[in-house]
């Protein structure tokens, strides 16, 4: 049904009545992938950025964000990653987001087997099914990442994002397999887990290696868990602060820690994930107005940025189109020619 | 195709190959509505909260958020409003979000006709097509709101959200028609517009009425526009600060103003909209653990909250179900009975 027909129909009948066959606003697709490692089917939600299917540009590749607790975080996270990747004020490159839906959350996200009495009712035993973290990371590395890399146009840059047990998992993945991802985000991580086993692992890592690996990044957000909840989460606060102390004292890691006074454990991921993306991609934003005065700045900025990231990044074709449009509409002829040449160099037209 | 068949197919052929007919992740539906006031068709994006179609509960009603610049803000905003409405840590009630897509943005969102030379190139004239704000608010009040109220289950509480020209529009709607919405959000509003005509209107409003109306709320976020952009946006900063001074000096309005040092004009809506929702619905969150000790607290909290909002709010049936589940799983028998009775009182089963 085309728009004109709808208009006629709606205005002819009644303005206040719903049209039929509404188009949906979609933000991703669900894939079912069977994991031999986990011996189960896993539901994966995949979000492709705005320009992914843009026929006006050459097929581009995108960094990939692996998002734990997909069913809780996918919707705002994909909105966030698209929103702050909007040209011309982009703070980050456009990214593919891969949300991983839980089956047995405690099993997958905890590094060791450990049980605990419920703080609400000591007769209830929690976490009987824990300790499958190593198996789950094997699934990510050996099955999920190859699946994503095969089926989507991915750039060789990936980020692992988790909250609570997911944050615990992100930090343990960083400690045990730092090469698996380029950056790690841990929102209010459950570092209290199993007598702070992750703190022990951090100390062991540094005793053995002295430094954290270069070009890796770790962002940790911390909620104000003390407020009103002393008996519940104070061990969480203590462990996070212990970890922060060790990492900051060592000083070799590109690390950022933010304490959010207004947030509790359940809400901190929202501002945390925003700050994390700004931290990881710091240096990405270029000022389109400055480029009018100094076109060479763009390539200089990208050289600097790539060096920091440990991976080569280039201005995207869609960004160059925006820059060209800006120069044209403001009648800045020399910069326009400069960026036209840059675009032709980076994205030669396929004959 | 059911999951089992997919599993067989995928494992039988190759793990790394995409399945077909992927289910989409959808966050809303698009409606085309014809406006007689504007004499054009308008595309509206509607997001319904998680429990809207939950068959396990009685059909509920929800506050409505009218979101300007829908095509830019709808995705992260609906993710946000769902995320912070999650039980049991909800900061806000679940809301319907109505995103309004632009046709002639400058025409619709500016209160007066005013032109300006481009600051980048003085030979270009900007905003020739301005001044249609009063017409656009008439569309919202007389056409869009009745359409939404007729076709969706809405509670009598609505919020208008805008950024830049949209923030200018929100503040002018508040000044000219304060009764149209319950709360107004203006992110980095363009109050510099037309020799600060909105500042003049604010002064006139207060000279005439002395006070702002009771139970209305206004949230303003302000970006750090000075940094690197002095020539572009300093009139924006000045006008916002002038407005803040007048409103705060008067002191009668439930008003919050946040300056975000890390944000620029294009990004401030993201943290601004989060803070705005927390401000508007402050007092909504209840502590499920406290309710185990003092079940009566819930109704007391809602009484207080309703008084502040100027509209009656009740605990939702889905929240009561979460409370009941919590009490049951922790074997808190007396509170469980209490909340079962409350649920039966508020949501009697239809015979």
Statement: residue B49 has pLDDT above 90: yes
Q: How near does any CA of chain B get to the CA of A307, in Å?
A: 24
Contact A125, A117 (CB under 8 A): yes
Contacts of A26 in chain B (CB under 8 A): 24-27
DSSP class of A213: P
Q: Which two tokens stand for residue A300?
A: 């200089």
**Across-strand partners of A65?**
A97, A159
* B89 → chain A, closest CA residue: A266
* Angle separating helix axes A193-209 and A230-250, nearest 10 degrees: 0
Q: How near does any CA of chain B get to the CA of A305, in Å?
A: 19
Pick from A22, A31, A232: CB nearest B30? A22
B29 and A31: CB-CB below 8 Å? Answer: no
CA A33, A34, A37, A39 torsion: positive or negative? positive
* B76 → chain A, closest CA residue: A79
Distance, CA of A132 to CA of A345 (rounded, Å): 48
Count Cβ atoms within 10 A of the Cβ of residue B311 and give its class: 0-12 exposed, 13-18 middle, 19 or more buried.
middle
Long-range CB contacts (within 8 A, 24+) of B256-259: B256/B217, B256/B218, B256/B219, B256/B220, B257/B219, B257/B220, B257/B221, B257/B222, B258/B219, B258/B220, B258/B221, B258/B222, B259/B221, B259/B222, B259/B224
Q: How far is CA A42 from CA A30, A152, A351, in A?
A: 10, 18, 41
Q: How near does any CA of chain B get to the CA of A209, in Å?
A: 35
Domain boundaries, chain B: 22-285, 287-351
B330 and A120: CB-CB below 8 Å? Answer: yes
A41 and B123: CB-CB below 8 Å? Answer: no
B76 and A74: CB-CB below 8 Å? Answer: no
A30 and B23: CB-CB below 8 Å? Answer: yes
Residue A13 has a pLDDT of 41
Residue A344 makes CB contacts below 8 A (sequence gap 6+) with none
Topology of the domain covering B22-285: Rossmann fold (3.40.50)
Q: What number of other Cβ atoms are within 10 A of residue B146's Cβ? A: 12
What does the pLDDT look like over A329-339, one tens digit per residue?
A: 888 999 999 99
A36 and B18: CB-CB below 8 Å? Answer: no
Contact B277, B92 (CB under 8 A): yes
Exposure letters A155-184 (e unless 16+ CB within 10 A, then b) = bebbbbbbbbbbbbbbbbbbbeebebbbbb
* A7 → chain B, closest CA residue: B34
Residue A346: pLDDT band (50, 70, 90) is very high
B151 and A19: CB-CB below 8 Å? Answer: no
* A31 → chain B, closest CA residue: B22
Contacts of B232 in chain A (CB under 8 A): 289
Residue B82 has a pLDDT of 97
The arithmetic mean of pLDDT across residues B323-336, rounded, is: 94
For chains A and B, CB pairs below 8 A equal 178
DSSP class of A144: I
A32 and B146: CB-CB below 8 Å? Answer: no
What does the pLDDT look like over B279-317, one tens digit per residue?
A: 999 999 998 889 999 999 999 999 999 999 999 999 999
Q: Could you give the 3-state DSSP secondary structure of residue B276? A: helix
Residue A118 makes CB contacts below 8 A (sequence gap 6+) with A124, A125, A126, B330
Rounded to the nearest angstrom, the gap between the alpha carbon of residue A342 and the centroid of all alpha carbons in its chain is 29
Q: How near does any CA of chain B get to the CA of A297, in Å?
A: 15
Mutation test of the interface with chain A: which of B79, B149, B273, B276, choosing the one with the most A Cβ atoms within 10 A?
B79
The arithmetic mean of pLDDT across residues B229-233, rounded, is: 51
Least confident of A93-97, A226-230, B79-83, B196-200: A226-230
Residue B125 has a pLDDT of 82
CA-wise closest residue to A108 among A199, A159, A37: A37
Statement: residue A22 has pLDDT above 80: no
Contacts of A16 in chain B (CB under 8 A): 146-147, 150-151
CATH code 3.40.50.1820 for A25-285: yes
A23 and B10: CB-CB below 8 Å? Answer: no
Please count the residues of chain B.
Answer: 351
Contact A136, A103 (CB under 8 A): no
Complex-level ipTM: 0.90
B27 and A25: CB-CB below 8 Å? Answer: yes
**Across-strand partners of A40?**
A35
Residue B70 makes CB contacts below 8 A (sequence gap 6+) with B43, B44, B45, B98, B99, B100, B101, B102
Pick from A34, A89, A289: CB nearest B267? A89
Contact A236, A222 (CB under 8 A): no
Residue A20 has a pLDDT of 54
């Amino acid at each position: 049904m085309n728009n004109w027909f709808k208009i006629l129909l709606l205005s002819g009948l009644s303005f206040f009545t719903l049209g039929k066959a509404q188009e949906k606003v979609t933000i991703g697709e669900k894939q079912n992938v069977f994991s031999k490692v986990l011996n189960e089917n896993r539901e994966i939600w995949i979000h492709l950025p705005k320009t992914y299917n843009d026929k006006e540009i050459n097929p581009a590749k995108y960094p990939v964000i692996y998002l734990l607790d997909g069913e809780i975080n996918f919707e705002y996270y994909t909105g966030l990653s698209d929103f702050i990747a909007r040209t011309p004020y982009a703070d980050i490159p456009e990214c593919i987001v891969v949300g991983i839906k839980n089956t047995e959350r405690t099993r997958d996200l905890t590094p060791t087997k450990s049980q605990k009495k419920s703080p609400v009712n000591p007769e209830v035993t929690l976490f009987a099914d824990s300790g499958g973290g190593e198996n789950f990371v094997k699934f990510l590395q050996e099955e999920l990442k190859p699946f994503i890399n095969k089926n989507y146009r991915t750039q060789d840059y990936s980020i692992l994002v988790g909250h609570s047990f997911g944050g615990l998992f992100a930090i343990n993945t960083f400690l045990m397999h730092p090469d698996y991802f380029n950056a790690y985000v841990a929102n209010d991580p459950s570092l209290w887990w199993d007598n702070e086993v992750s703190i022990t692992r951090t100390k062991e890592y540094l005793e053995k290696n002295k430094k954290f690996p270069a070009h890796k990044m770790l962002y940790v957000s911390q909620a104000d868990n003390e407020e009103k909840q002393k008996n519940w989460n104070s061990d969480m606060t203590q462990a996070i602060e212990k970890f922060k102390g060790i990492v900051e004292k060592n000083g070799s890691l590109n690390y950022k820690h933010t304490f959010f006074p207004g947030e509790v454990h359940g809400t901190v991921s929202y501002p945390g994930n925003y700050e994390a993306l700004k931290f990881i991609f710091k240096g990405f934003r270029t000022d389109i107005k400055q480029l009018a005065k100094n076109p060479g700045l763009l390539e200089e900025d990208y050289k600097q940025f790539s060096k920091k990231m440990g991976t080569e990044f280039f201005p995207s074709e869609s960004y160059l189109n925006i820059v060209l449009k800006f120069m044209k509409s403001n009648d800045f002829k020399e910069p326009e020619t400069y960026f036209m040449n840059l675009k032709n160099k980076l994205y030669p037209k396929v004959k």
